[in-house]
């Protein structure tokens, strides 16, 4: 799925296919066209070159990576996959424990619940606010919608205190110390909470526009509200859920600040990004591991990006204010 096709679904417009425009659209002056081509080609190369060089270095031996620039590989080609094995399973450099593999699993163990649970909770809320309704449903929706303006930086300190001490009103514990501090749960629960305003907003916009007849018909048949949620609303909302899921998964996978804040002291809960950030201090002495490790983190987003670009663009459009 290409960017272009993605945008067809996005805007409902058909973009002109490359080079097949009617002649009336062509610039009469050919030099302009050529200049435009040059600019586009130069910009594309500039954008791709850093990633390409990074990737080439991840395939070179330590001595070669540190002794010469990656561009010399075209003169003396010699490539190896061993850096990836080393960085994933053996460690070295600054990596605590045995390689990045456990941290990749951490990232996955954080991203999976931090994607699934917000979908369930937010779709329930969206359904309640749009179809079950109650007197101040609109007000509640507007408050949740408005909470998008609160940056998650506002929550870090109080949440950390809550996780490590619980909450007390006087001496009465109103929120127990769950012993979450330094665990995976702390990271994904935080992500879940921070995702709520956006998730409810996105899913509400979709769920509220489901056809009235379907839901009314189910009501008339005697189905209760909760049955309708599971059997009618959830299945019909899958397109919106897919867009949100991809956006949220990538957001969590790529996040540094939340992972760093809520797992910093315990390696067993750290996501890949946090370890990788710490690796960056070893620049120069372990370039071959650093580049391989870097590629390990970007490979998942890349796969998602190239295979699900349509949903990615939708999620990006809608979720661009998050943070």
Partner 1 sequence: MHLLTTSLDKLLGVLEAVGGFVAILAFLFWLAGKVRGRFEKPIANILLLGPAVLLLLIGLVIPAIRTIFLSFRGQYVIGPDVKYVGLANYKWAFTDPHTLHTLVRTAEWLVIVPLVSTVAGLVFALLVDRMKYQVIAKSLIFMPTAISFVGASLIWKYVYQYRAPNLPQIGLLSEVVMKLGWSHPPNWLLSSPLNTFLMMVILVWIETGFAMVIMGAALRSIPDDVIEAARVDGAKGWRLFRSVQLPMISSTVTVVIITIMTATLKIFDIVYTITGGNFHTDVLSNEMYSQIFEEFNNGRGSALAVILFLAVVPLVTVSILRLRKERYA
Applying the rule CB under 8 A, the residues between 129 and 168 that interact with partner 1 are 129, 132, 134, 140, 144-145, 147-159, 161-162, 165
Q: Of the candidates 15, 96, 138, 173, which one interacts with partner 1 according to CB under 8 A?
A: 15
Q: Please report how close the Cβ of residue 48 comes to partner 1 at its closest, in angstroms.
A: 5
Distance of CA 320 to the CA centre of its chain: 11
CA proximity to 288, closest of 102, 98, 92, 103: 92
Contact residue for partner 1 among 210, 218, 267, 316 (CB under 8 A): 316
CB 106 within 8 A of CB 266: no
Task: Say if residues 273 and 256 touch (Cβ distance below 8 Å).
Answer: yes
Rounding to the nearest 10 degrees, give the CA dihedral for residues 143, 144, 150, 155: 120
Which residues are within 8 A (CB) of 231 and not within 5 positions of it... i.e. 6 or more apart? 218, 223
Candidates 23, 30, 31, 47; binder of partner 1 (CB under 8 A) is 47
- Residue with Cβ nearer partner 1 (16 or 82): 16
Return the residue of 99, 245, 310, 311 that touches partner 1, per CB under 8 A: 99
- Per the structure block, which two tokens stand in for 64? 């070669």
Nearest CB to partner 1, comparing residues 8 and 214: 8
Rule CB under 8 A: which of 254-283 touch partner 1?
Answer: 254-257, 260-261, 264, 273, 276-277, 279-280, 283
Candidate list 23, 24, 31, 76; residue touching partner 1; CB under 8 A: 24
Reading the block at residue 26, the tokens are 């062509």
The single residue among 93, 215, 240, 290 that binds partner 1, judged by CB under 8 A, is: 290
Asked if 226 contacts 127 with a C-beta cutoff of 8 angstroms, the reply is: no
Q: Is 119 in the site for partner 1 (CB under 8 A)?
A: no
Among 120, 121, 253, CA closest to 188:
253
DSSP label of 136? T
Show contacts with partner 1 in window 206-235 (CB under 8 A). 224-227, 229-230
Query: Which residue from 40, 79, 85, 217 is in contact with partner 1, where contact means CB under 8 A?
Result: 40
User: Least distance (Å) from partner 1 to the CB of residue 197?
Assistant: 7
CB of 81 to partner 1, least distance (A): 19
Tokens 């910009």 appear where? 43
By CB under 8 A, is residue 323 in contact with partner 1? Answer: yes
Instruction: Tell me the C-alpha to C-alpha distance, in Å, between residue 113 and each of 88, 102, 187, 302.
Output: 23, 17, 10, 21
Q: Which is nearer to partner 1, 84 or 127 (CB)?
A: 127
- Would you count residue 186 as binding partner 1 (CB under 8 A)? no
Footprint of partner 1 on 52-91 (CB under 8 A): 53-54, 57, 65-71, 89
Q: Candidates 61, 177, 193, 234: give the one binding partner 1 (CB under 8 A).
A: 193
Q: Which two tokens stand for residue 6?
A: 């993605």
Q: Are 265 and 201 in contact (CB under 8 A)?
A: no
Q: Is 94 in the site for partner 1 (CB under 8 A)?
A: no
3-class DSSP assignment, residue 265: coil
Sorted by sequence, the CB contacts under 8 Å of residue 102 that are 6+ apart come out as none
Out of 207, 241, 287, 289, name the contact with partner 1 by CB under 8 A: 287
Q: Which of 87, 180, 200, 245 binds partner 1 (CB under 8 A)?
A: 200
The encoded tokens of residue 250 equal 């990538």
Angle, helices 309-319 vs 287-307, to 10°: value is 100
Tell me the site size for partner 1, rule CB under 8 A: 137
């Amino acid at each position: 799925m290409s960017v272009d096709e993605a945008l067809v679904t996005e805007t409902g417009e058909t973009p002109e296919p490359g080079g097949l425009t009617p002649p009336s659209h062509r610039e009469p002056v050919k030099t302009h066209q050529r200049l435009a081509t040059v600019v586009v080609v130069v910009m594309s190369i500039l954008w791709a070159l850093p990633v390409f060089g990074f990737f080439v270095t991840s395939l070179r031996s330590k001595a070669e990576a540190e002794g010469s620039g990656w561009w010399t590989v075209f003169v003396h080609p010699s490539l190896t996959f061993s850096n990836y094995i080393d960085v994933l399973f053996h460690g070295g450099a600054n990596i605590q424990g045995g390689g990045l593999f456990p941290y990749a699993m951490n990232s996955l163990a954080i991203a999976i619940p931090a994607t699934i649970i917000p979908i369930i909770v937010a779709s329930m809320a969206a359904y309640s606010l749009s179809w079950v309704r109650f007197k101040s449903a609109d007000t509640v929706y507007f408050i949740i919608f408005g909470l998008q303006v609160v940056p998650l930086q506002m929550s870090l300190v109080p949440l950390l205190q809550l996780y490590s001490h619980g909450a007390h009103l006087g001496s009465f514990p109103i929120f127990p110390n769950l012993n979450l501090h330094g665990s995976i749960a702390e990271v994904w629960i935080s992500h879940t909470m921070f995702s709520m305003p956006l998730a409810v907003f996105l899913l509400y916009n979709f769920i509220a526009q489901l056809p009235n007849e379907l839901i009314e018909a189910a009501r008339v048949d005697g189905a209760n509200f909760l049955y309708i949620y599971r059997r009618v609303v959830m299945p019909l909302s899958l397109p919106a859920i897919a867009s949100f899921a991809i956006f949220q998964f990538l957001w969590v996978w790529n996040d540094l600040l939340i992972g760093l804040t809520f797992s910093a002291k315990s390696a067993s809960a750290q996501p890949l990004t946090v370890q990788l950030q710490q690796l960056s201090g070893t620049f120069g002495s372990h370039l071959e591991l650093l580049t391989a490790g870097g590629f390990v983190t970007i490979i998942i987003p890349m796969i998602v990006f190239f295979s699900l670009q349509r949903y990615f663009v939708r999620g990006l459009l809608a979720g661009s204010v998050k943070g």
